[in-house]
């Protein structure tokens, strides 16, 4: 079922082969879309990952791009249009999880990085594709927020929670502003997904609580009604649904992909 045949997608922060971004890019490619992937210029895997996407039988492009730099993001989207002629789907996936769960220990740098990547990075992506989507007569924007954007969880740094709440606000505002342009804008809110970032979070919890990584994972599993942390492909399935024809009348939603886990406070 190549439901996205003839369409062009861009996924940010998709260089790492075990990350959610790469899984999303692969899922969109399996639906037939040409997929441009971006990641930090320092990403070691970006070009290899684009090759793996191409091996799925679609066009792909690897574009080093720091999402906090609005000029780089504009240039990146322009290169996608130059190569593929359009942009139908933008997935703002790039994100960072930094800082301590102790609010008073968070540094200016933690706040700048969290808001710079997790919020301003999404703003930069949206700003640079909306005119193209308007000219085309529509498009889909899918922002990867977090369950931490729907409620506060004690072990999560405040800078991360605040940045993900902000992304959800932005998503709803853009959904409202651009509905008549047929630009649908939704947020996906992953719970606990097995990636590099997840490993870092577990390490932080293990260190703070003086427990092993395995014990930290067991504690986390105990809070997940389905009893386990998901694979990136399970988030990618939800994104592909929101990008596809079955979601043609859905905009402004926040979709938890969290095995039944509730957001916190
Ligand atoms: N893993 C989880 O449990 C989980 C849960 C909820 C939400 N999320 C969100 O999912 C998204 C993907 O996370 P992941 O778990 O795959 O983590 P990850 O660290 O594997 O992937 C994040 C990617 O973003 C890239 N990135 C970071 N800063 C960037 C910048 N300035 N410009 C461009 N790219 C940049 C990184 O290089 C990396 O490839 C993030 O937005 C994250 O907040 C993850």
Q: What is the pLDDT of residues 80-89, one digit of tens each?
A: 999 999 999 9
- Tell me: pLDDT of 233 over 80: yes
Domain hosting residue 143, numbered range = 8-191+233-255
Q: How far is the CA of 93 from the centre of ligand 1 (A)?
A: 6
Q: Using CA atoms, how far apart are residues 160 and 111, in angstroms rounded to an integer?
A: 8
- Tell me: pLDDT of 1 over 80: no
| Number of domains composing the chain | 2
Residue 201's pLDDT band (cuts 50, 70, 90): confident
Q: Does 157 lie in the same domain as 224?
A: no
Q: Does 225 lie in the same domain as 156?
A: no
Exposed (0-12), middle (13-18) or buried (19+): which is 59, by Cβ within 10 Å?
middle
- Tell me: pLDDT of 160 over 80: yes
* 160 noted as active-site residue: yes
Q: Does 102 lie in the same domain as 68?
A: yes
Ligand 1 contact via 60 beta carbon (within 6 Å) = no
Protein residue whose Cα sits closest to atom 23 of ligand 1:
13
Q: How far is the CA of 226 from the centre of ligand 1 (A)?
A: 23
Handedness of CA 227, 228, 233, 236 (dihedral sign): positive
Query: What pLDDT digit, counting tens, does each position of 2-29 carry?
Result: 999 999 999 999 999 999 999 999 999 9
- Tell me: pLDDT of 192 over 80: yes
- Per-residue pLDDT, averaged over 52-75, amounts to 98
Instruction: Tell me the angle at which helices 46-54 and 20-30 cross, rounded to the nearest 10 degrees.
Output: 20
Q: Does 182 lie in the same domain as 76?
A: yes
- CA-nearest of 82, 81, 84 to 58 is 84
Residue 37 lies in a domain: yes
């Amino acid at each position: 079922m190549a439901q996205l045949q003839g369409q062009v997608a861009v996924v940010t922060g998709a260089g790492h082969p075990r990350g959610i971004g790469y899984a999303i890019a692969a899922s969109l490619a399996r639906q037939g879309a040409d997929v441009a992937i971006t990641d930090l210029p320092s990403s070691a895997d970006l070009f290899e990952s684009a090759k793996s996407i191409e091996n799925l039988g679609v066009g792909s492009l690897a574009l080093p791009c720091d999402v906090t730099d609005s000029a780089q993001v504009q240039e990146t989207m322009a290169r996608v249009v130059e190569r593929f002629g359009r942009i139908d789907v933008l997935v703002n996936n790039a994100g960072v999880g930094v800082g301590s769960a102790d609010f008073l220990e968070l540094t200016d740098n933690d706040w700048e990085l969290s808001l710079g990547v997790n919020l301003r990075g999404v703003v930069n992506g949206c700003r640079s594709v909306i005119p193209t989507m308007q000219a085309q007569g529509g498009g889909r924007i899918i922002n990867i927020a977090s369950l931490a954007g729907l409620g506060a969880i004690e072990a999560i740094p405040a800078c991360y929670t605040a940045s993900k709440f902000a992304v959800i606000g932005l998503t709803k505002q853009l959904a409202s502003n651009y509905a008549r342009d047929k630009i649908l804008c939704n947020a996906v809110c992953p719970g606990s997904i097995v990636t590099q970032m997840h490993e870092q979070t577990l390490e932080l919890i293990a260190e703070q609580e003086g427990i092993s990584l395995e014990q930290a994972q067991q504690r986390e599993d105990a809070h997940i009604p389905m009893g386990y942390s998901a694979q990136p492909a399970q988030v990618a399935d939800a994104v592909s649904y929101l990008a596809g024809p079955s979601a043609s009348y859905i905009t402004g939603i926040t979709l938890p992909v969290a095995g039944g886990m509730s957001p916190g406070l």
